[in-house]
Amino acid sequence: MAHFDALIIGFGKAGKTLAGDLAEGGSKVAMIEKDPMMYGGTCINIACIPTKLLSHDSLAGVEYSQAVERKNNTIPKLRDKNYHNLADNDNITVFDAEARFLNDKEIEIESQNGAVQQLTADDIFINTGAVTALPPIEGVDSDKVFTSTSLIEETVLPHKLTVVGGGYIGLEFATMYNAFGSEVTVIVPENGLLLSEDTEMAEAIQQEMENAGVKFVFGEKAEALEDVSDSEIKVTLSNKDTITSNAVLMATGRKPMTYGLGLENTSIELSEDKSVRVDKHLKTNVDHIWAMGDVKGGMQFTYTSLDDYRVVKSRLADDGAYNMESRAHTHYTMFVDPPYSRIGLTADEAKEEGYDVAEGKVDLSGHPRAHVNNDLRGLSKSVVDKASGKILGAALFGANAEELINLVKLAMDHDLPYTALRDMMYNHPVMSESFNGLFNV
C-alpha cells in the first residue's frame, strides 16, 4: 500500500495550491481527481472563467456560437497548464481516479479502467467542491433542462430561455443569454429580487435587467416540467400558469460534494447541509483529515478557497495564527450588466446591530468617468458608523464595481476610517474617484 505525506482529493483551487506548496517543501503528495476535465477545479473549467468569458463576449456583441467556440478553445489551455503545474513536479503523483474512504486512515481509488488500489497519508485533504442542487421536480430529467454547467456547452442559442431561480447564478445567466439574443424569463419564488441586499440596490438591478429585456415572474415556484414538442418545454408554476420556452436553466443552488466519498466509513462529522464540519483551522473531527473549499460549506468562491489554503498552510507550517476567525470581510460580485459588488452590512443590518449609521449614496449618472464611458447606469451606497468612523459596508452597482470593491475591502481589513477613502487623492477621470463623494457622509 503506497503511503504519502499528503493526499488531496480534488484538483480545485485550495487543493492544487496546497499540493504545489507542500511539494516545493519536499513532501510527497498524491493528488486524486476523478474527472480529467476538471484539472484546476470548478472555476477554470465550468464556472468563473467560462461564464465570465461568455458574459464578456455577449456584452461585446459577439455571436453566441463564436463565443462558445472561444470558450472551448480557451479552457483546455488553462486546464492543461494546471495539470502540468502539478504532474510535472517530481514530488506530486496525479491519480486519475475516484477516491473513497475505507476508514479514517485508508483511501481506495478506482481508475477509469477499473484498476483499484489503496493509499494512506499522514494528512488527508478533502477538496471535492460542490455540485448543482436539483429540486425533485417532475420532468427535470428532460434533455431541454440544463444546469449552469451543461447550458454553456450548447452551441445553439435557445430562442427562449426560462431560468428557474433568482439568485446570483440565475441572474448572471439571464443577463448573458439575454445579451446574446435569447428571450429570457426568470422565475423567482420570493416576492422580490435579491431580498438579502439593500432594497434600493435590488430595485436598481431589477430595473436595469428589465430595461434590457429580461422578464421576471415573482412569488411562484416551478412545479413541473414537460416537453411539448421536439424543440419546446413547458414549465408549470405553482399558480398553474405555464411558460413555454426552448430550454430551462435550473439555477437552484449548489451543494457540497460529499456523496460517494465513503464518509460513512469514517468518523468524519457532517453538518446539516451535508458539508464537512471543520474547526477554525479547517480540520475535521479526525485529527489528520481536513476539508477545504466548497465542500466545507459557506460561501462558494474561488478566492475563499484560496484563502482556505492559507488557513491550512498557517496551521501546517506554524502556529495557526491565521485561521477562519481571521477572515474578517468577504466581498462578492454578481456579473450582471453593469456588475454589482457588495461587502459588509447594509444600512438596515447595521442598525439592527446597534450602530449609529450614516449612509452615503452616489448616482453614477453624475460621475465624470461615467460620461467618458458613455455609460450612465449605476448606483453606489456606503454604510459607516458615525461614532467610530468605521466602514461597515458598501454596495457598488456600476462599471468596474468588481475591481473597486477590493479597495473598500482593503480599507475595512486594515480598519481604516471611512475618511481615508473620502479624502484620498484619486487620479482623474476614473471610477474610483466617486469614493470622494460616496464616503462623504
List active site positions: 428
| Residue listed under C-alpha cell 462558445 | 68
- Collapse the DSSP code of 49 into the 3-class scheme (helix H, G, I; strand E, B; otherwise coil) and give the result: helix
The SS3 call for residue 45 is: helix
For the beta sheet containing 391-397, the strands, ordered from the edge strand earlier in sequence to the opposite edge, are 332-334, 340-344, 391-397, 379-385, 357-363
Place of cell 455571436: 63
How many Cβ atoms from other residues are within 10 Å of residue 153's Cβ? 12
Closest C-alpha among 434, 421, 439 to residue 371: 434
Nearest of 136, 142, 138 to residue 227 by alpha carbon? 142
> Given the C-alpha cell 482556505, which residue does it identify?
308
Q: Can you read off the three cell numbers belonging to residue 215?
A: 422578464
Spatial strand order of the sheet with 145-146 comes to 145-146, 247-250, 160-164, 183-188, 215-218
- Identity (one letter) of the amino acid at 277? R
User: Distance between CA 434 and CA 432 in Å, rounded?
Assistant: 5
DSSP letters of 226-270? EE-SSS-EEEEETTS-EEEESEEEE---EEE--TTS-GGGS---B
Query: What DSSP state is assigned to residue 283?
Result: B
Contact criterion met (CB below 8 Å) for 277 and 289: no
CA separation (Å) from 139 to 150, 211, 280, 438?
17, 32, 42, 48
